[in-house]
């Protein structure tokens, strides 16, 4: 039985060696609906789902079944530009889109329900064209964009949380969703949004990340309103925001990434404030390099007063300091990963990859060096992940392919498109990675213009299979053969 882990971000590292791997490409001519693959999910029945800019694809090991919007046909998906995919406890597939909101796929009827989420009518959280001024990962954001989906089955919950770009946060009671339809069951959805008159409302309507920690706290990373903690007892939010008068506050309200490590510490990546670590206020935070391994983590319960949150939490800051060569390499933190050895990897936009030494608070940098042909070739890191063998897989914004780092060999290997080699990687902008936890299992790579690639590690030095879209080829329905494995939700995204 195959069990898979899903990665929808990519990473970047230090020293690369070019390897003559063979890639098998699945793309348009194989039935894939479009060459831009942005998100991947394996469901509990083993089917692989791929979200593209032109429809939702289901792959059964033989063929692709493609689901697109048909305006005059009931039961089709509401929008072809897919941003997020999740599976709930009943096996229903939930799909977030750029302009069409939220959809639920009913397997037995092979049709979609489009759920009309309440629309925010108050002050806008962002200018219409704001995303054009932001990094590449924001380039497809619109008012109705679903940015993240999180199925919450912890402690008996049956909920779907939906983060959007300008319409706040939604909580859907899955137990009350009875059947396909265009409306939610009564009281099945709760809409949380920013209310300037209510200090305990959501602090901003642009949602970037959701994280349920080991203690059961739900953390919401917003783009402009800092970090929020949701209090289920009161259905209110506590906001931790940048305060210039408080040196231990969050140092930037624009959050790009949230990550809880195995010890329970919450790490926050920001747009311009670097890396923040949430700790309990009782820690005496040093002004110099941080000894984060000695800090007490912030697992305190909610206080009924709700207004004392600044007295409960503090933030440890890791920023780029030009005259400190071992500081963070750049202040836009896009990805955070703790590997199996406990090392913390930090991807940045503009500064490449960093590895934090928690004992000293100092970073090792892996960056592009145009005078060193073996260095990392792009400094804009989009995501970081680790496979079952301890290999770190890396991707970035600028088209430099995909890279992997073997810690045992202390060696980086770089795979990129070679126009003269039909078995090389199909495209050098890799948006999504899907890895098997089995050491010899395949790695799936979703690219920007080159469709889908499957990397088979058992084929000598490795081989890529390419899957491309062929407009002249009809998309077949799925057949019986498929992988069986545990359902995994998407943990990252590129829109």
pLDDT over 50 at 3, yes or no: no
pLDDT at 460: 53
Beta strands in 167-283 (DSSP E): 169-173, 189-192, 207-212, 218-222, 227-231, 236-240, 255-260, 266-270, 275-280
pLDDT over 60 at 491, yes or no: no
Minimal CA–CA distance to 429: which of 400, 404, 405?
A: 400
- Taking all residues of the chain, what is their mean pLDDT, rounded to a whole number? 75
SS (H, E, C) 309-344: HHHHEEEEEECCCCCCCCCCCCCCEEEEEECCCCCE
User: Is 236 in contact with 213 (CB distance < 8 Å)?
Assistant: no
Where in the sequence is the domain holding 409, given as residue range(s)? 5-469
d(Cα 373, Cα 73) in Å, to the nearest integer? 54
pLDDT tier for residue 421 given thresholds of 50, 70 and 90? confident
User: Is 26 in contact with 32 (CB distance < 8 Å)?
Assistant: yes
Tens of pLDDT along 194-213? 999 999 999 999 999 999 98
Express as a percent the part of the chain with pLDDT over 90. Answer: 29
Report which of residues 69 and 115 the model is more confident about.
Answer: 69
Among the listed ranges 61-65, 261-265, 349-353, 456-460, which one has the minimum average pLDDT value? 456-460
Tens of pLDDT along 280-298? 655 444 444 443 433 344 4
Residue 339, in any domain of the structure: yes
Among the listed ranges 2-6, 391-395, 468-472, which one has the minimum average pLDDT value? 2-6
Tens of pLDDT along 330-348? 999 999 999 988 999 999 9
d(Cα 57, Cα 155) in Å, to the nearest integer? 32
Residue 178, in any domain of the structure: yes
Q: Which residue has the tokens 């007490």?
A: 296
Cα angle vertex 128, ends 80, 330, to 5°?
90
Q: From the DSSP assignment, how many helices (H) and strands (E) are in the chain?
A: 1, 35
Among the listed ranges 179-193, 204-218, 219-233, which one has the minimum average pLDDT value? 179-193
Q: Model-level pTM? A: 0.80
pLDDT over 50 at 382, yes or no: yes
Q: State the average pLDDT over residues 372-386.
A: 74
Residue 481, in any domain of the structure: no
What 3-state class would DSSP assign to 136? helix
Among the listed ranges 185-199, 410-424, 426-440, 478-492, which one has the minimum average pLDDT value? 478-492
pLDDT at 367: 84
Residue 37, in any domain of the structure: yes
pLDDT over 80 at 274, yes or no: yes
Among the listed ranges 90-94, 169-173, 309-313, which one has the minimum average pLDDT value? 309-313
Residue 491, in any domain of the structure: no
* Cα 295 from chain centroid (whole Å): 27
Instruction: End-to-end CA distance of the chain: give it in Å, rounded.
Output: 31
pLDDT tier for residue 437 given thresholds of 50, 70 and 90? low
DSSP 486: -
Residue 219, in any domain of the structure: yes
Minimal CA–CA distance to 252: which of 333, 329, 325?
A: 333
Residue 489, in any domain of the structure: no
User: Is 423 in contact with 441 (CB distance < 8 Å)?
Assistant: no
pLDDT at 466: 65
pLDDT at 445: 76
Cross-strand pairs, 151: 160
In a 13 Å sphere around the CA of 340, the CA atoms on its Cβ side amount to 11
Among the listed ranges 152-166, 218-232, 446-460, which one has the minimum average pLDDT value? 446-460
pLDDT at 476: 41
Q: Return the number of other C-beta atoms located less than 10 Å from residue 110's C-beta.
A: 11
The total number of structural domains in the chain stands at 1
Tens of pLDDT along 90-128? 889 999 998 888 999 988 888 998 887 776 555 544 444
Instruction: Beginning with the edge strand found earlier in the chain, give each strand of the sheet holding 55-59 in spatial order.
Output: 37-42, 48-52, 55-59, 64-67
pLDDT tier for residue 228 given thresholds of 50, 70 and 90? very high
Tens of pLDDT along 297-308? 444 444 443 445
**Mean pLDDT: which of 133-137, 194-198, 278-282, 428-432 is highest?**
194-198
CATH code of the domain in which 292 resides = 2.130.10.10
pLDDT at 25: 46
Residue 232 φ/ψ, nearest 5 degrees:
-70, -30
Residue 221, in any domain of the structure: yes
**Mean pLDDT: which of 237-241, 380-384, 437-441 is highest?**
237-241
User: What is the β-pairing status of strands 344-348 and 333-338?
Assistant: antiparallel
pLDDT over 60 at 316, yes or no: yes
pLDDT over 90 at 434, yes or no: no
């Amino acid at each position: 039985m195959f069990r898979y882990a899903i990665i929808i971000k990519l990473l970047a590292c230090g020293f690369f060696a070019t390897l003559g791997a063979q890639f098998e490409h699945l793309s348009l001519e194989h039935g894939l609906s479009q060459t831009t693959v942005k998100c991947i999910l394996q469901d509990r029945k083993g089917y692989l789902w791929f979200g593209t800019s032109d429809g939702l694809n289901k792959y059964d090991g033989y063929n692709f079944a493609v689901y697109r919007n048909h305006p005059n046909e009931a039961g089709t998906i509401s929008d072809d530009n897919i941003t997020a995919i999740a599976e709930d406890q009943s096996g229903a597939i939930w799909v977030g889109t750029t302009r069409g909101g939220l959809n639920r796929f009913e397997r037995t009827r092979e049709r979609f329900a489009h759920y009309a989420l309440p629309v925010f009518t108050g002050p806008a959280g962002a200018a219409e064209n704001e995303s054009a001024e932001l990094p590449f990962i924001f380039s497809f954001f619109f008012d109705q964009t679903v940015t993240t989906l999180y199925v919450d089955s912890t402690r008996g919950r049956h909920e779907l949380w939906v983060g959007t770009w300008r319409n706040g946060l939604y909580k859907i009671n899955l137990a009350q969703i009875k059947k396909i339809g265009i409306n939610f069951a009564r009281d099945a959805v709760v809409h949380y949004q920013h209310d300037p008159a209510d200090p305990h409302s959501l602090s901003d309507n642009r949602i970037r990340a959701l994280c349920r920690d080991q203690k059961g706290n739900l953390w919401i990373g917003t783009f402009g309103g800092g970090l929020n903690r949701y209090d289920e007892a009161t259905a209110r939010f506590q906001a931790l925001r940048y305060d210039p008068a408080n040196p231990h506050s969050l140092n930037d309200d624009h959050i790009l990434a949230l990550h809880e490590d195995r010890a329970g510490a919450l790490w926050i990546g920001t747009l311009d404030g670097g890396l923040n670590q949430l700790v309990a206020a009782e820690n005496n935070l040093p002004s110099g390099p941080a000894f984060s391994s000695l800090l007490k983590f912030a697992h305190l319960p909610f206080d009924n007063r709700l207004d004392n949150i600044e007295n409960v939490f503090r933030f440890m800051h890791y920023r780029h300091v030009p005259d400190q060569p071992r500081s963070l390499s750049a202040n836009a933190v896009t990805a955070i990963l703790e590997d199996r050895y406990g090392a913390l990897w930090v991807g940045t936009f503009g500064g490449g990859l960093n590895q934090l030494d928690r004992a000293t608070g100092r970073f090792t940098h892996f960056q592009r060096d145009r005078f060193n042909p073996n260095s990392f070739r792009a400094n804009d890191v989009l995501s970081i992940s680790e496979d079952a063998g301890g290999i770190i897989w890396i991707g970035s914004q600028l088209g430099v392919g995909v890279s992997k780092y073997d810690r045992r060999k202390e060696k980086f290997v770089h795979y990129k498109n070679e126009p003269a080699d039909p078995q090389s990687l199909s495209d050098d902008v890799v948006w999504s990675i899907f890895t098997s936890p089995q050491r010899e299992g395949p790695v799936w790579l979703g690219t920007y213009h080159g469709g889908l690639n499957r990397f088979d590690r058992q084929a000598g030095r490795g081989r890529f299979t390419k899957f491309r879209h062929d407009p002249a080829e009809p998309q077949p329905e799925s057949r019986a053969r498929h992988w069986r494995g545990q359902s995994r939700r998407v943990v990252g995204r590129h829109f």
